[in-house]
Copies of this chain bind each other. A is one copy, B any other.
Amino acid sequence: MSEITGSDLSLVDAYWRAANYLSAGQIYLLDNPLLAEPLTPAHIKPRLLGHWGTTPGLNFVYAHLNRVIKARSTNVLFVTGPGHGGPALLANTWLEGSYSEIYPDVQRDGHGMRRLFRQFSFPGGVPSHVAPEVPGSIHEGGELGYSLAHAFGAAFDNPDLLVACVIGDGEAETGPLAASWHGNKFLDPVRDGAVLPILHLNGYKIANPTILARIPHEELDALLRGNGYAPFYVEGDEPAAMHSRMAQVLDEVLDGIHRIKTSGRTGRPRWPMIVLRTPKGWTGPSEVDGVPVEGTWRAHQVPLAGVRDNPEHLELLESWLRSYRPEELFDEHGGPRPELLDLAPTGDLRMGSTPHANGGLLLRELRLPGVAPHAVEVTKHGTTNSEPTRALGRMLRDVVALNAEQENFRLFGPDETASNRLDAVYEKTGKQWQAEVLPVDEHLEHHGRVVEVLSEHLCQGFLEGYLLTGRHGLFNCYEAFTHIVDSMFNQHAKWLKVHRKLAWRRPVASLNYLLSSHVWRQDHNGFSHQDPGFIDHVMNKKAEVIRVYLPPDTNTLLSVADHCLRSRDYVNVIVAGKNLTPDWLGPEEAALHCARGAGTWDWAGTAEGEPDVVLACAGDAPTMEVLAAAALLREHLPELRVRVVNVVDLMRLQPDTEHPHGMSDREFDALFTPDKPVIFAYHGYPWLIHRLTYRRTNHSDIHVRGYKEEGTTTTPFDMLVLNDMDRYRLVIDVVDRVPGLGPRAAGLRQHMQDQRTRHHAYIREHGEDLPEIRDWAWPY
């Protein structure tokens, strides 16, 4: 590259000063944005909200990246780990013009600057953190830990993209971030993009020093090299020297990345990274009220807190703001001087305008095989068995094959893809892996559609980054351990809620979870592996974002998965079994049933028309038990009119006022009756069904069975018995709740109790279920 000149660096410095000025201005100023007159308390915001500490460092990185982007025309996506530094990103996108293009009422002039300042952290304005509202961002950074995983996710299958990821030294203490360094064991230097981690050591968190800033240089260096990187250090507090060093390092680093990307696969590359060590709150007030602020944790939020009431603070603020020499940076209209703008790239090369940060712009439809090729034939309901996720694996294999050229679909999993029986995908692709390979290994490839790492956090983070940059994917996970990413899910759902309201953000592919190896079939792994609560967790987020599906068999799973892979801007949770399960519905029936979301299975009950009791089910194990219970009732109480209702789309249970998929009360009453007992066998914790139905006419007659946190290492049927959801218990529930059954009911009740005892005894003696249960045969 061309030599870095002094004028280059003074331009970078001016740009940096401008961004710092604009950042501080956002935190403090209600008015007088250009300091046209001396500051008075009336110019100051009544509530001072924002995080100054991290901001000058972010501005420093952004300005220097601008220089190299312009020089090299490199596509760069900027991931702001310290998302609290919202002012920095707002300042920079305003400076480069991308902000005003999206928000025309905030133009690049004095009027616009006033708005930019005023709206920040202001009611009805913009949030204090980097958020969906901020152009160029795919990452919030309010909850720390996920920046580097997002960066790797964004880089997959984007060979021409450089993802610059600023990691705060606070964030670096979190588990997910500590695990994310190993993303370089997956990233393919040839067909993926590059990730440039920039570890910003500003030394402090809210009230404490950070670990990585307080270990010796050799130790930090060893840690980063041990994580597989070649660190470059930019350390100091003197701006001119720092600019010179940063420019030089960035050129070296980008040259290094270029070499890696063009030299083919010559072993796993040691990717360069940058350690940027600066004072916290750099260039801000160095001392306030007699104590040091710049370079300490006191600079974390608002270094001068009493500006409105304390004339000394006000004066300090004014001299701080003037220290950036705004008159050199902004012209008489308040816009940035043209010579300043020379630093920034133009068009889509601006980091605030990169389409990668607005993935919907780049989203290409997934080519889907449809359900038909993988559906199982069903000539008679429930007479053949198949493994639902195995069929899904074949469907996903075809998704991989059909989209091989556009490379925009990936499957993520914590070492459970084969365990969840999706391994048919390995017929068409492999597991991406850049670390050492031994002859005994199978399915490892430099570039493959499957990413497996024993970290649910990384799976989720990679997938989020992949989706938000305009691709498609699925995260398959043991049901219980999906809770590990509860909080990441929260943040993604919050992101989507806001994203959906921003017209300029284009729809992205939904985040699809496949929860398998679920609570009812973790009998072998025991209590720690038994937890169906992720469904409850997602239910707290906005109805317009959340979908939950419980397909009971193979064809319904295929139909649901096909639907989810086509959907946009949702989080879809699919809970499905991997074990042999009766094929209840043929392909067309399944499609219709899934489209309806819930419906009567007349063939499984005793009669059409008004029933005496409704047996409802949601989930594969509950469906099996309900159908077995219905068969028992037909055998023992043939005169009892039993309706079987299966629910695939859990959201259907809610009122239509609560969820877009919700049923009207009329529909609900037609399905569940207004006044007959409903015995509902549900996959998860039973109270969710009560929560979803408590407003319904018939809710006091709805009796729910589900998992009530009783488990251990045992047999599948014993799990059902422990939680009172086995077929015999369901029959007893019917007997106990349907009035007027007469004397035969008592006999049946006893018979059912005897059956439970018989199973119990057999299981305790033989250590396995009775053959009739092991075969998952439907006795009808």
Residues of chain B within 8 A of A143, CB atoms compared: 480-481, 484, 528-529
Asked if A206 and B47 sit within 8 Å, CB to CB, the answer is no
Check B228–A226 contact: CB distance below 8 A: no
B712 touches A127 (CB 8 A): yes
Among the stretches A168-176, A506-514, A550-558, the one at the interface with B is A168-176
Binds B, one of A159-167, A376-384, A396-404, A433-441: A433-441
Q: Which of A213-221, A362-370, A583-591 contacts B (4 or more CB under 8 A)?
A: A213-221
A542 contacts B by Cβ under 8 Å: yes
Question: Are A457 and B175 closer than 8 Å at their CB atoms?
Answer: yes
Residues of chain A from 118 to 150 with CB closer than 8 A to chain B in the complex: 121-129, 131, 140, 142-145
Across the interface, name the chain B residue whose C-beta is closest to A141: B528
- What are the interface flags for A541-553 relative to B under an 8 Å C-beta threshold, 1 for contact and 0 otherwise? 1100000000000
Q: Do the beta carbons of B687 and A528 come within 8 Å of each other?
A: no
What is the distance, in angstroms, from A497's C-beta to the closest C-beta of chain B?
A: 7
A182 touches B211 (CB 8 A): yes
Q: Which of A346-354, A519-527, A731-739 contacts B (4 or more CB under 8 A)?
A: A519-527
Q: Do A533 and B527 touch across chains, with their CB atoms under 8 A apart? A: no
| A205 on the B face (CB < 8 A) | yes
Q: Which residues of B lie under 8 Å from residue A124 when comparing CB positions?
A: 714, 763-764
Question: What residues on B are CB-neighbors of A691 within 8 Å?
Answer: 687, 690-691, 694
Chain A 742-774 interface mask (CB, 8 Å, partner B; 1/0): 000000000000000000000110111000000
- A: number of interface residues (CB 8 Å): 118
- Is A415 touching B223 in the complex (CB atoms < 8 A)? no
Binds B, one of A447-455, A566-574, A641-649: A447-455
* Chain B residues positioned under 8 Å from A372 (CB to CB): none
Among A122, A181, A699, the most chain B Cβ lie within 10 Å of the Cβ of A122
Docked Cα-Cα span, A436 to B536, in Å, equals 44
Q: Is A121 within 8 A of B210, CB to CB?
A: no
Q: A248-256, A485-493, A627-635: which one contacts chain B?
A: A485-493
Max chain B Cβ within 10 angstroms of own Cβ: one of A123, A207, A296 = A123
A452-B208 contact given A226-B226, A227-B223, A542-B709, CB 8 Å threshold: yes
Query: How far does the Cβ of A176 sit from chain B's closest Cβ, in whole Å?
Result: 4
| Residues A180-234 near B (CB distance < 8 A) | 180-182, 185, 205-211, 214-216, 219-228
A620 at the interface (CB under 8 A from B): no
B764 touching A215 by the CB < 8 A rule? Answer: no
Residues of B within 8 A of A526 (CB): 127-129, 131, 142
Q: Is A705 an interface residue (CB 8 A)?
A: no
Q: Which residue of B lies closest to A762 (CB)?
A: B123
Please state if B142 and A207 are interface contacts (CB–CB under 8 Å): no
State which of B171, B226, B416, B438 has its C-beta within 8 Å of the C-beta of A206. Answer: B416
Contact residues, A455-509 vs B (CB, 8 A): 455, 457-458, 480-481, 483-484, 486-487, 490-491, 494, 497-498
Q: Choose among B46, B178, B208, B452 the residue that contacts A179 (Cβ–Cβ < 8 A).
A: B178
Identify A123's interface contact among B129, B177, B437, B718, CB under 8 A. Answer: B718
Residues of B within 8 A of A715 (CB): 47, 123
Contact partner of A225 among B129, B219, B481, B533, CB < 8 A?
B219
* CA–CA, A529 and B144, complex, Å: 11
Q: How far is the CA of A416 from the CA of B173 in the complex (A)?
A: 14
Given known pairs A526-B129, A713-B128, A766-B46, the reply for A174 and B455 (CB within 8 Å) is yes
Most chain B Cβ neighbours within 10 Å, of A49, A175, A498, A768: A175
Given that A483-B486, A490-B531 are known contacts, is A185 also in contact with B211, CB under 8 Å in the complex? Answer: yes
User: A685: CB under 8 A from chain B?
Assistant: yes
Q: Tell me, in angstroms, the Cα distance from A431 to B435 when the chains sit together.
A: 40
Residue of B nearest to A699 (CB): B694
Q: Tell me if A214 and B436 are in contact (CB < 8 A).
A: yes
Residues of B within 8 A of A128 (CB): 524-526, 713
- Mask, A695-719, CB within 8 Å of B = 1, is 0000100000000010011110010
Q: A129-B526, A226-B224, A687-B691 are in contact. Are A454 and B713 (CB under 8 A)?
A: no
The answer to whether A491 touches B528 (Cβ under 8 A) is yes
Return chain B residues, CB-CB under 8 Å to A121. Answer: 524, 713
**CB-CB under 8 A for A170 and B454, given A128-B525, A175-B176, A528-B491:** yes
| Interface status of A292 (Cβ within 8 A of chain B) | yes
Assess whether A122 is in contact with B767, with CB atoms less than 8 Å apart: yes
CB of A210 within 8 A of CB of B175, answer no
Least Cβ distance of A149 to chain B in Å? 9
Taken together as a complex, chains A and B put the C-alpha atoms of A126 and B529 apart, in Å, by 15
Q: Does A64 contact B (CB under 8 A)?
A: no
* Complex A-B, nearest 10 residue pairs according to Cβ-Cβ distance, in ascending order: A223-B226, A142-B528, A175-B175, A222-B226, A178-B178, A214-B435, A483-B487, A175-B179, A173-B454, A214-B436
18 further A-B contacts with Cβ under 8 Å, apart from A123-B718, A497-B709, A540-B685, are A125-B713, A129-B525, A140-B528, A143-B529, A145-B484, A175-B179, A175-B458, A208-B444, A209-B436, A214-B436, A215-B228, A221-B226, A226-B226, A296-B440, A483-B486, A486-B487, A491-B528, A494-B527
List 26 contacting pairs A-B, 8 Å CB cutoff, sorted by A. Answer: A45-B767, A47-B715, A83-B528, A122-B767, A129-B525, A131-B526, A131-B527, A131-B528, A143-B529, A173-B458, A174-B457, A175-B458, A207-B415, A208-B444, A210-B454, A222-B225, A223-B226, A480-B490, A481-B487, A483-B487, A486-B487, A490-B531, A491-B528, A533-B540, A540-B709, A690-B691
